[in-house]
Amino acid sequence: MPLPHPPNNIDAIRISLALLVLFSHSYDVALGTNDQEPLKLLTRGQFSLGELAVDGFFILSGYLVSQSWANSSTAASFLRKRFWRVFPGYWMATAICLFAIAPCVSSFDLVQLLQDNGWRALLLRGVYVPTSFPTNPYPGVMNGSLWSISCEWWCYIGLLMLGIMTVLNQRSLVLALFAASLIVSVQFDGADLNWPTGGGVLGVVFGAPRIWVRMLPMFLAGMTAFAFRRSLAFTPRAAVLAMIGLAVAARTPPLLTLAAPTLGAYLLLYLGFAFPLCWRSAAARGDPSYGIYLYAFPIQQIIVSSAGYRLAPGELFTVALLPTIAAGYLSWHLIEKRFLPRRTR
């Protein structure tokens, strides 16, 4: 059947993905590495639950932002909606990290802090405070979640350009772009290309090539699903087959690069739009998913820094869960929703 309109599970999935990131980062923050994280072990080091969750966010964004473009009267209105959805919450989280947390957990130099982070805030490139949390197992990282926000913003800009060029109206071209991204991704994984991790000047603005090789197929998977939304069939049998295929690929490293943005995207969108159990009220009191993602990492770092003893990942996740959810709701009600049109809140 074609992708239906609401009710759906999209809000519930986004909140769940944000909490998966919190759980996965409990290993990084508590142990200094995620080598023992459950999915990392299961997939022989290919994926962590945090990476899986971010991939899911990009797939959903590809679909939903394509829908936003289709519902926008002009390119300017589309860009305005995307700007207000991303930047205010991000800038507030950045300001809190720099001016409320950094003075308490690092050797503090305001001038240096502003010099290091002014351009980063404008380009959505995260928070740079290398002296933060010096005694934690994961020192020098104020907020390890922010790296993906810039990548997602540039995906929005890319979609805008494709929309202006009417590429999005031609399903075959969208499918061709998706297929090309998969080919590049597989080639990258299968060859020692020795690409620079930073990407030089372009990497400063757009992000490292290694990130794009992974994330672009995910976003394009969502875009392709939207382009074919009227003919794309979602059935329980196909969802089970996709799950089996992902399980096989998880144990076969070359296959997972191909399976994640194809079978994974199918399974995620099945759960979002066609799964018989629907939690339509997940965001009835607001959507905390973005705020959870923005604040989880520094909250966990603060907890570890204040604990006085080495926390296990499970303990850290449990202790951080409620304050992180609270931060997510505060971010939504105090910042995010105030920049959205009333009809879409």
Quick one: pLDDT at residue 1?
Answer: 40
With b for 16 or more beta-carbon neighbours within 10 A and e for fewer, the 133-172 pattern comes to beebbbeebbbbbbebbbbbbbbbeebbebbeeebbeeee
Query: What percent of the chain is predicted at pLDDT more than 90?
Result: 74
Q: What is the dihedral of CA 178, 181, 182, 188, to 10 degrees?
A: 180
Q: What is the mean pLDDT of residues 316-328?
A: 98
pLDDT in tens, 228-251: 999 999 999 999 999 999 999 988
Domain boundaries along the sequence of the chain: 10-15+53-284
Of 109 and 102, the one with more pLDDT: 102
Write out the chain in H/E/C secondary structure.
CCCCCCCCCHHHHHHHHHHHHHHHHHHHHHHCCCCCCHHHHHCCCCCCHHHHHHHHHHHHHHHHHHHHHHHCCCHHHHHHHHHHHHHHHHHHHHHHHHHHHHHHHCCCCHHHHHHHHHHHHHHCCCCCCCCCCCCCCCCCCCCCCCHHHHHHHHHHHHHHHHHHCCHHHCHHHHHHHHHHHHHHHHHHHHCCCCCCCCCHHHHHHHCCHHHHHHHHHHHHHHHHHHHCCCCCCCCHHHHHHHHHHHHHHHCCHHHHHHHHHHHHHHHHHHHHHCCCCCCCCCCCCCCCHHHHHHHHHHHHHHHHHHHCCCCCHHHHHHHHHHHHHHHHHHHHHHCHHHHCCHHHC
User: CA–CA separation, 284 vs 29, rounded Å?
Assistant: 31
Q: Is the pTM of this model over 0.75?
A: yes
Quick one: pLDDT at residue 3?
Answer: 46
pLDDT in tens, 160-188: 999 999 999 999 999 999 999 999 998 88
Quick one: pLDDT at residue 205?
Answer: 66
Task: Judge contact between 30 and 316, C-beta under 8 A.
Answer: yes
Query: What percent of the chain is predicted at pLDDT more than 70?
Result: 92
Task: Judge contact between 217 and 182, C-beta under 8 A.
Answer: yes
pLDDT in tens, 120-165: 898 898 999 999 999 999 999 999 999 999 999 999 999 999 999 9
Q: pLDDT band at 319, cuts 50/70/90? A: very high
Quick one: pLDDT at residue 83?
Answer: 96
Segment among 20-24, 29-33, 59-63, 123-127 with least mean pLDDT: 123-127
CA atoms within 13 A on the CB side of 175: 7
Q: pLDDT band at 5, cuts 50/70/90? A: low
pLDDT in tens, 267-309: 999 999 988 887 878 888 999 999 999 999 999 999 999 998 8
Segment among 85-99, 176-190, 193-207 with least mean pLDDT: 193-207
Quick one: pLDDT at residue 46?
Answer: 85
Q: What is the mean pLDDT of the chain?
A: 90
Indicate whether 104 pLDDT > 60. Answer: yes
Q: How many CB atoms lie within 10 A of CB 75?
A: 13
Task: Give the closest residue to 87 by CA, choosing from 158, 149, 11.
Answer: 149
Indicate whether 340 pLDDT > 80. Answer: yes
Quick one: pLDDT at residue 253?
Answer: 73
Indicate whether 4 pLDDT > 50. Answer: no
Segment among 1-5, 7-11, 186-190 with least mean pLDDT: 1-5
N- to C-terminal Cα distance for the chain?
29
